[in-house]
């Protein structure tokens, strides 16, 4: 059995210095955070790794502790740089939430030999059909856009907490306490970040889903935006080797709200990849 490691490290990719962490031992499992969080959203899954898997997480450009000047870059190249620095040439299981899932899918399309399996949580998928909102949801989206236009970052942070942590049709403040404080802290860093430059990645993973043969698990919450739930279900249908799991009583971030269930599903995927 490999020795259990527990380390923080800096990874260079282009001009960026990427803040990463690794802990545990075994098959490499890389966690990719949502655009409203940073690597801290995976605390429970990192802590649970032990000898079951080598857990790796990192802050993308514009998030958390990563330092990156504006430059043309590739999110997939950044991911591969992190894998190279932590797991070497070993193919990795990728666990991505929201935009993190989109990066995982792009990696699976462009570098299939590097991807052993996928866990896609509330996935964003570039090239997927555009969202269609009910009038109630459209009003919430406009409220967010107005806050963005006014550059009222505190108000925008609270709006995003309602939309993505509570769920757009749930009561504001449904999720409270340390979890809400962590969300607001993570997203405040993202909202205040300077632009990271042009991303060179091809954003059409949706049209290549049927070519991804790696074992996959798709997870979503029943309190998330309806179009995200529908998209997640469709992704699970299009991937040739996927299992689908709708979790009850959670919104866009099931890994935060139901960490034990999500960690169990990740372990199940690891066994499928063995």
R_g over Cα of the chain:
18
More confident residue, 115 or 6: 115
Task: Judge contact between 115 and 80, C-beta under 8 A.
Answer: no
Tens-place pLDDT, residues 134-171: 999 999 999 999 999 999 999 999 999 999 999 999 99
Confidence of residue 2 (pLDDT cuts 50, 70, 90): low
Say whether 218 sits in a helix, a strand or coil. strand
Tens-place pLDDT, residues 19-31: 999 999 999 999 9
Count Cβ atoms below 10 Å from residue 266 Cβ, excluding itself: 25
Residues whose CB falls within 8 Å of the CB of residue 111, separated by 6 or more in sequence, listed in order: 76, 80
Segment 115-133 shows an average pLDDT of 96
Q: How far is 256 from 221, CA to CA, in rounded Å? A: 12
More confident residue, 52 or 67: 67
Confidence of residue 213 (pLDDT cuts 50, 70, 90): very high
Segment 108-131 shows an average pLDDT of 96
Catalogue all structural domains in the chain, each as residue range(s) with its CATH number. Answer: 5-130+196-273 (3.40.50.1820), 135-192 (no CATH)
The tokens describing 189, both together, are 């860093």
Confidence of residue 1 (pLDDT cuts 50, 70, 90): very low
Whether the pLDDT of residue 228 is over 50: the answer is yes
What order of strands is seen across the sheet that includes strand 115-121?
Answer: 5-13, 16-24, 53-58, 27-32, 92-97, 115-121, 216-221, 242-247
Q: How far is 178 from 93, CA to CA, in rounded Å? A: 29
């Amino acid at each position: 059995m490999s020795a259990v490691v527990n380390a923080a490290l800096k990874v260079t990719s282009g001009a960026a210095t990427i803040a990463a962490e690794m802990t545990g031992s075994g098959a490499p499992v890389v966690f990719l955070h949502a655009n409203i969080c940073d690597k801290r959203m995976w605390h429970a899954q990192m802590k649970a790794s032990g000898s079951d898997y080598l857990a790796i997480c990192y802050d993308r450009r514009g998030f958390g502790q990563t330092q990156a000047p504006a430059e043309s870059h590739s999110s997939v190249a950044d991911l591969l740089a992190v894998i190279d620095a932590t797991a070497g040439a070993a193919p990795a299981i990728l666990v991505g939430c929201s935009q993190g899932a989109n990066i995982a899918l792009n990696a699976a399309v462009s570098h299939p030999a590097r991807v052993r399996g996928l866990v896609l949580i509330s996935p964003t998928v570039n090239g997927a059909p555009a969202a269609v909102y009910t009038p109630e949801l459209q009003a919430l989206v406009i409220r967010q856009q107005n806050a963005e236009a006014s550059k009222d970052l505190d108000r925008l942070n609270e709006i995003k907490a309602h939309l993505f942590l509570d769920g757009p049709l749930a009561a504001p403040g449904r999720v409270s306490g340390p979890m809400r404080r962590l969300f607001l802290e993570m997203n405040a860093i993202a909202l205040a970040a300077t632009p990271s430059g042009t991303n060179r990645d091809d954003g059409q993973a949706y049209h290549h889903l049927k070519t991804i043969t790696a074992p996959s698990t798709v997870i979503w919450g029943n309190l998330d935006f309806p179009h995200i739930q529908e998209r997640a279900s469709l992704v699970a249908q299009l991937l040739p080797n996927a299992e689908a799991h709708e979790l009850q009583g959670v919104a866009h971030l099931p890994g935060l709200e139901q960490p034990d269930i999500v960690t169990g599903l990740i372990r199940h995927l690891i066994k499928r990849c063995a």
